[in-house]
Amino acid sequence: MPAVEIFEVGPRDGLQNETRLIPAAEKVALVDCLSQAGFRRIEVASFVSPKWVPQMATSGEVLGRIARAPGVRYAALTPNLRGLTDALAARADEVAIFGSASEGFSRANLNCSVEESLARFAPVMEHAREAGVQVRGYVSCITDCPFDGPTAPAAVAWLAGQLLAMGCYEISLGDTLGRGTPERIAAMLRAVLDEVPPERLAGHYHDTGGQALANIAVSIEHGVRVFDAAIGGLGGCPYAPGASGNVATETVHDWLTERGIQTGLDHTVLHQARDMAHALRGGEGHVSDIDA
Ligand code: HMG
Ligand code: MG
């Protein structure tokens, strides 16, 4: 059991924002490399509308073609029942619902209010439970929303509590814009910890402001032991203007290791995967290879 777990989200959160439509084979190669690094969980897919996020249209194919490593759970985002049905058909090992602590981002990202998003998530939870598949819950905009401005910690705590009560096994707290600072992350965590115990929380920090490692440090002080990261610092959210990539997995790994905190990850494989991620971003594949 690693002291801190890094949940790899690069193949989903990282790639979803790339403008070049990356062929499924290139995504599969990246996931297959990551599968050798020692992760317990890798988010590889997103069953959302292809009109909203065209890059994720190959999600079923990716899940179907990866070489599944023993002990690794391959995760997918599922905003509604249609997404869950498709994720189960593609044999996702776990799924995630994703809500926003702010109304503006909820409307931009899910085309509905926060309350309406919870109503859509209810049947996802019910069917996932029947299928024996665990559901993770994301809360976006934990410090700032691109549309509504600063987010009140109480709004984050409320949604995190709702997702926990619905049956999510873990709540991932998303600094979608990457504008959080340690002081504001600490204030947010103090509110959230009234609703959700630290062992059920994860930090999901984009690194726009260069504060992600400091935000991880303050989260560790508050008892959080799981952090989402994207190999090569890939990423951004298409519905969060101004957001840059997730904090880079290899950076978090090196930073934790220097502090004597074990992640269970293989440095050499991580750096191979980082090079692959950078090549994907650079567009070394050929657009003509894209599956129609
Ligand atoms: P909508 O338009 O309100 O939904 O979108 P709808 O039910 O009216 O359907 C519209 C069309 O989408 C229909 O097709 C549906 O069939 C189709 P049409 O009749 O027009 O041809 N559709 C679907 N297709 C495939 N899979 C589905 C699905 N559902 C409907 N599951 C909807 C609502 C949720 C679908 C849309 O808003 C959407 O896809 N949003 C996803 C946006 C997204 O993926 N954002 C990025 C991920 S979130 C993120 O990155 C943040 C995170 O990293 C944490 C953080 O950093 O904060 C998690
Ligand atoms: Mg994200």
- Over residues 64-70, the mean pLDDT reads 98
- In ligand 1, the atom with minimum distance to the C-alpha of 100 is 57
The phi and psi torsions of 89 (rounded to 5 degrees) equal -65, -30
HSE at residue 2, side-chain half, CA atoms within 13 A, is: 21
Catalytic residue among 33, 141, 168, 237: 237
- Over residues 118-125, the mean pLDDT reads 98
Answer yes or no: is the C-beta of 98 below 6 A from any ligand 1 atom.
yes
Answer yes or no: is the C-beta of 46 below 6 A from any ligand 1 atom.
yes
What are the residue boundaries of the structural domains of the chain, listed by start?
5-290
In the structure, what pLDDT confidence band is assigned to residue 290 with cuts at 50, 70 and 90?
A: very low
Give 192 Cα–ligand 1 centroid separation in angstroms: 27
Residues pairing with 171 in the sheet: 137, 201
Residue nearest to atom 30 of ligand 1 (CA): 49
pLDDT value of position 284: 54
pLDDT value of position 281: 84
Look at residue 287 and tell me whether its pLDDT is greater than 80.
no
- Rounded Cα distance between 105 and 98, Å, is 11
pLDDT per position as a tens digit, 198-242 = 999 999 999 999 999 999 999 999 999 999 999 999 987 777 777
- In ligand 1, the atom with minimum distance to the C-alpha of 9 is 53
Answer yes or no: is the C-beta of 12 below 6 A from any ligand 1 atom.
no
User: Hey, which of 49, 53, 127, 138 would you mutate to test ligand 1's pocket, going by the most ligand atoms within 8 Å of its Cβ?
Assistant: 49
pLDDT value of position 111: 98
pLDDT per position as a tens digit, 76-110 = 999 999 999 999 999 999 999 999 999 999 999 99
- Rounded Cα distance between 273 and 232, Å, is 8
pLDDT value of position 235: 85
Give 45 Cα–ligand 1 centroid separation in angstroms: 13
pLDDT value of position 7: 98
CATH superfamily of the domain spanning 5-290: Aldolase class I (3.20.20.70)
- For residue 145, indicate whether it is catalytic: no
Query: What would the two tokens of residue 7 be?
Result: 């949940």
Looking at residue 247, its amino acid is V
- Over residues 118-122, the mean pLDDT reads 98
Q: Any idea which ligand is nearest the CA of 100?
A: 1
pLDDT value of position 2: 80
3-state secondary structure of 204: strand
pLDDT value of position 1: 65
pLDDT per position as a tens digit, 4-45 = 999 999 999 999 989 899 999 999 999 999 999 999 999 999
- Over residues 256-263, the mean pLDDT reads 97
Answer yes or no: is the C-beta of 255 below 6 A from any ligand 1 atom.
no
3-state secondary structure of 226: strand
Answer yes or no: is the C-beta of 7 below 6 A from any ligand 1 atom.
no
- In ligand 1, the atom with minimum distance to the C-alpha of 120 is 34
pLDDT value of position 228: 98
Provide the mean pLDDT of the chain: 94
